[in-house]
């Protein structure tokens, strides 16, 4: 594959600083070398410019219900264009975050002029809206924004009309707010919790998730939030939740993605926070998982 790496050092959607260094940490962990070693042609396009809160000369946009909305909208628009251009050039967009709000731009760009499904590996639902959020952090609203829920219905920078909720699948979920849980029950989004993985195993769950996401679509976007893993495996994340997937479950999930690689249009890996990490373990694991998703095999 011809892979174009796009860094988005965004931390405006989270409440813990440090995740903006995620793209650098993943690169330092040997991403280019790993992809090259597995036969891919990898080009790193550098980082998109993201406003820094400490450098803002004017009051940030948004309010306590949705912080930094205008600033994030500008970044996501640029990311949408970058992802769409990458695909138009026949290359595979691999986006490095940054917090999970960047998925609005990454998946939105992949959905331009194409009907796509989304497989969302995450401990959380990211299905809050400004009306339901407890934190005001948009990284907990990114999936709701893509689907135009609540106050995001008129947010043209966020909504991806070509993504049908019936082709969106959450995998590894284990931490939901009450109103978020209700919203997911009422939606057409499919949710596979850690209970499902415990009962059926990661490969079977991910296979079904991919079946749902690819049905009557032109491809899928894979969103990998590193907090889907158990904190013992991935300590360098801002919102860790105990009881996540194991090292081997994560690899088997990505290997299931690789089995459908001809359907994967784009991918992002997010929420690596080196400030909270131990010896860059989480970034190194992110590199391993990306390699597995893009076809690395043991034998």
Instruction: Specify whether domain 2-293 bears CATH 3.40.800.10.
Output: yes
For residue 261, the 8-state DSSP code is G
Report whether pLDDT(57) > 60.
Answer: no
Our answer to whether residue 227 is catalytic in this structure is yes
What is the distance, to the nearest Å, from the Cα of residue 49 to the centroid of all Cα atoms in its chain? 19
Our answer to whether residue 185 is catalytic in this structure is no
- Split at pLDDT 50, 70, 90, the class of 58 is low
Catalytic member of 225, 230, 249, 288: 225
Confidence at residue 233, expressed as pLDDT on a 0 to 100 scale: 98
Confidence at residue 59, expressed as pLDDT on a 0 to 100 scale: 59
Our answer to whether residue 233 is catalytic in this structure is no
Our answer to whether residue 65 is catalytic in this structure is no
**Mean per-residue pLDDT, 88-102:** 97
Our answer to whether residue 100 is catalytic in this structure is yes
Confidence at residue 299, expressed as pLDDT on a 0 to 100 scale: 73
Work out the burial of residue 97: count CB atoms within 10 Å of its CB; fewer than 13 is exposed, 13-18 middle, 19 or more buried: buried
Report whether pLDDT(268) > 60.
Answer: yes
Our answer to whether residue 41 is catalytic in this structure is no
Catalytic member of 139, 180, 230, 249: 139
Q: Is 143 helix (H, G, I), strand (E, B) or coil?
A: helix
Catalytic member of 126, 180, 196, 255: 126
Catalytic member of 11, 20, 122, 233: 122
**Mean per-residue pLDDT, 261-268:** 97
Higher pLDDT among residues 142 and 57, named by residue: 142
Would you say 268 and 224 are in contact if contact means Cβ atoms under 8 Å apart?
Answer: yes
Catalytic member of 164, 227, 268, 288: 227
- The residue ranges of every structural domain in the chain are 2-293
Our answer to whether residue 124 is catalytic in this structure is yes
Task: Tell me the C-alpha distance between 241 and 154, whole Å.
Answer: 32
Catalytic member of 40, 100, 221, 251: 100
CA distances from 141 to 25, 174, 180, 222, 242 (A): 25, 16, 10, 17, 21
Residues in the chain: 299
Catalytic member of 71, 99, 124, 284: 124
**Mean per-residue pLDDT, 261-279:** 97
Kindly tell me the sign of the dihedral angle through the C-alpha atoms of 219, 228, 81, 132: positive
Q: Is 2 helix (H, G, I), strand (E, B) or coil?
A: strand
Confidence at residue 167, expressed as pLDDT on a 0 to 100 scale: 98
Task: Tell me the C-alpha distance between 147 and 281, whole Å.
Answer: 33
* pTM of this structure: 0.96
Q: Is 6 helix (H, G, I), strand (E, B) or coil?
A: strand
Q: What pLDDT digit, counting tens, does each position of 10-45 carry?
A: 999 887 789 999 999 999 999 999 999 999 999 999
């Amino acid at each position: 594959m011809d892979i174009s790496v796009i860094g988005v050092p965004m931390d405006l959607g989270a409440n813990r600083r440090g995740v903006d260094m995620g793209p650098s940490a993943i690169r330092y962990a040997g991403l280019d070398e790993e992809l090259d070693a597995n036969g891919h042609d990898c080009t790193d396009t550098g980082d998109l410019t993201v406003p820094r809160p400490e450098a803002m000369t004017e009051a940030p946009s948004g309010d306590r219900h949705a912080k930094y909305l205008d600033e994030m909208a500008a970044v996501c628009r640029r990311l949408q264009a970058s992802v769409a251009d990458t695909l138009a050039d026949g290359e595979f967009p691999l986006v490095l975050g940054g917090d999970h709000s960047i998925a609005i731009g990454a998946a939105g760009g992949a959905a331009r002029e194409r009907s796509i499904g989304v497989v969302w590996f995450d401990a959380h639902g990211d299905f809050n809206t400004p009306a339901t959020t407890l934190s005001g952090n948009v990284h907990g609203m990114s999936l709701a924004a893509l689907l135009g829920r609540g106050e995001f219905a008129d947010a043209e920078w966020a909504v991806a009309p070509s993504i049908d909720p019936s082709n969106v699948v959450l995998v590894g979920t284990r931490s939901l707010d009450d109103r978020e849980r209700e919203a997911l029950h009422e939606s057409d989004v499919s949710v596979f919790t850690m209970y499902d993985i415990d009962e059926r195993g990661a490969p079977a769950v991910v296979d079904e998730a991919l079946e749902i996401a690819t049905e009557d679509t032109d491809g899928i976007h894979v969103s990998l939030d590193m907090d889907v893993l158990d904190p013992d495996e991935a300590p360098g994340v801002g919102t860790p939740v105990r009881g996540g997937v194991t090292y081997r479950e994560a690899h088997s999930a990505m290997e299931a993605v690789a089995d459908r690689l001809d359907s994967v249009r784009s991918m992002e890996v997010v929420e690596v926070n080196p400030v909270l990490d131990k010896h860059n373990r989480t970034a190194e694991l992110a590199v391993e998982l990306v390699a597995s998703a893009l076809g690395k095999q043991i034998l």
